Amino acid sequence: MTTPLPSVLIANRGEIACRIIRTARRLGMRTIAVYSDADARAPFVAMADEAHRLGPAPARESYLRGDLILDIAKRAGAACIHPGYGFLSENTDFARAAEAAGIIFVGPPPSAIEAMGLKDAAKRIAVEAGVPVVPGYHGENQDPAFLKQKAYEIGYPVLIKAVAGGGGKGMRKVERHADFDDALASCKREALNAFSDDRVLIEKYVTAPRHVEIQVFADRHGNVVHLFERDCSLQRRHQKVIEEAPAPGMPPAMREAMGKAAVEAARAVGYVGAGTVEFIADGTGGLKENAFYFMEMNTRLQVEHPVTEAITGLDLVELQFRVAAGEKLPFAQKDLAINGHAVEARLYAEDPESGFLPSTGKLWALHLPDDGSVRVDTGVARDGEVTGFYDPMIAKIIAHGATRDEALDRLAAALGQTIVAGPRTNTAFLIALCNAPGFRIGDFDTGFIERNLDALGAVEQPVDLDAVAAAVPTMIEQACWRVDHEASFGEIGHEDESALQPVDPWSRNDGFTFTMPNTPTIDVVASGKRLRVSASQNDWLRYQVGIAPGDYTRTVALAERTDHGERGVADEPSVAVVETNAAWLVIRRGRQTEVALFDPLDVDLESLDVPEGGALVKAPMHGKLIALYVKPGDRVEKGTRLAVVEAMKMEHALTAPRDGVVADVSGHVGQQVSQGAKLILIGEG
């Protein structure tokens, strides 16, 4: 089956661009990609029939340049533009400009985007449509003192939310009156950066909240339906982590009431296309049909749309194209039914053990499940790079089953097969979430993750000695054998083992003797801790590994190298040992352990300049320094906010680790900083 739209320009990047291209190709459409310099070698660029450069990596100079995108669309002869989600997907001006240029915008009418794009206006529309809303202040007065007073009147805890927000950006929960000013300033700054609009509203924070949303679809002929609900309650800092459909414990009467409310909200603004009406439900004592409130409407496709596709058997992107071309919806509400259960996990480049800090770098290894048991949507490839310019998503992994337990079992198994080496990821954290007892029985709300960080492994963990042991034989091999002088290391990589030639016994640095067992010993650094390791080879690919301090010993049976040069452990199929230019990365049970040869000359010279009783504050990640609150000579107390670094659309506040006086400030607001860069020196005082 084909569509009347012959070609599409995808005004987006990453996994959603790949996903749109796949459906468009199936429909016989010509696909046109646009890309920034950071994405020049990204998979979506190669997948498209043609691709055009937008500009430099920052989104404001590339993916947010609607004028450039429209110019390319006109020159490429695009019949329509699909905006995906994020970037320009809910930008009224862009939608109108496309319309004026005679190019179909695959989304709702600009009037609907405008009506629902601002949370305060959307709530007024919802009230007029008879949809319940959360108590709060949704007015125009943005004076900080006035907003603070309103928060006090509403009663803490409250949520500060950007009126133009989405995706958890520009949102802060405030527990105490004393914390309101800092939270408001941070929220406004993040909103301005993400949406070019720093206006906010204040809402009462609902106790035990469940985040439940309804997928709606409408055509240009007055037909509006809902495609049931999704539960997105597993969140961290208002960012969704695992989504599922249908919502666990949803009574049929509540599904009907919520679906009807969502359809009425869509009708109220003359909606067309795919949209999501989001509700907050009071989960105290279970979901109830009279205890849910309208939050907002996202006038676009959602990241979590695959779980809806899994339980309905529909391709939502295909429906978007057909509705945009003027076709009627091919079904009515009575024709739709829920088939089984689906769950989606967002695989992110972030470090749960370090406060979920974004993680960047080269993807030295990438193996995602490909056995057909799950669906994988990704926009990256091995040897690609995760940068700090965009969101941290590596992939979405979607599992479907006849029951919720079956779907979760499949998702956990697929995550266990996932290997990502380079940037740290939340793989182990996601596996723990899938198996968390409370989540399994449906006893959860939006605060579940924060309450269970320890149990989920999202706190600093001890060194994984089993992971170190897996790396030791390969490290010993490298330390004790030499590369043939005719082949450079870079040329042979890991694929030509014949180029690794043994040297004579007198040249080996492993303590070889004729009279004693040969047990090479080396010093390594694993997760910042220095260890002495040894390995004696029992037989081919079997080693007895010891680690000191302590009496750790283990027999490690290495697996043969993969086609990409990785090593595994025979009795632990999920383990992968990946060699980089500077270290060995061991992926075990979803967790990455970095193991490197100890270098006595590798000294942090900047730390030597720290006076006794002082402290050095470094950038915790690659990012942009967007705020500095101190200058040399300022006296600070432990916990004082010093600066804010932004990466992957998220802000990270740096605080003083101790009392003292600021001795030096490096860098300036707006500067890109590297992970570990010196920012602020605090002296004793």
Specify whether the CB–CB gap between 397 and 427 falls below 8 A.
Answer: no
Tell me if 474 sits within 8 A of 598, measured CB to CB: no
Please pick, among 199, 210, 300, 375, the residue that the annotation labels catalytic. Answer: 300
Other CB atoms within 10 Å distance of the CB of residue 374: 23
Which of 341, 374, 355, 311 is CA-nearest to residue 440? Answer: 341
CA 588, CA 464: separation in Å to the nearest integer? 9
Reply yes or no: is the peptide bond before residue 246 cis, omega within 30 of 0.
yes
**DSSP state letters, 530-544:** EEEEEEEEEETTEEE
**Encoded tokens for 309:** 């596709």
> Between 92-100 and 110-117, two packed helices, what is the crossing angle to 10 degrees?
170
**H helices, E strands: number in the chain:** 18, 41
Alpha helical stretches, state H, 176-230: 180-195
Q: Count other C-beta atoms under 10 Å from residue 613's C-beta.
A: 12
Helical segments of 296-401, H only: 305-312, 316-324
Output the CA–CA distances (angstroms, integers) from residue 18 to 62, 226, 360, in the order listed. Answer: 18, 26, 21
Pair 528, 460: CB distance under 8 Å: no
Told to judge if 300 belongs to the known catalytic residues of this protein, a careful annotator would answer yes
Alpha helices in 48-173 (DSSP H): 66-76, 92-100, 110-117, 119-128, 144-154
Q: Which positions ≥6 away from 146 have C-beta within 8 Å?
A: none
Rg (CA), the chain: 27
CB-CB neighbours of 423 under 10 Å: 23
Count of positions (residues) in the chain: 685
Return the active site residues. Answer: 300
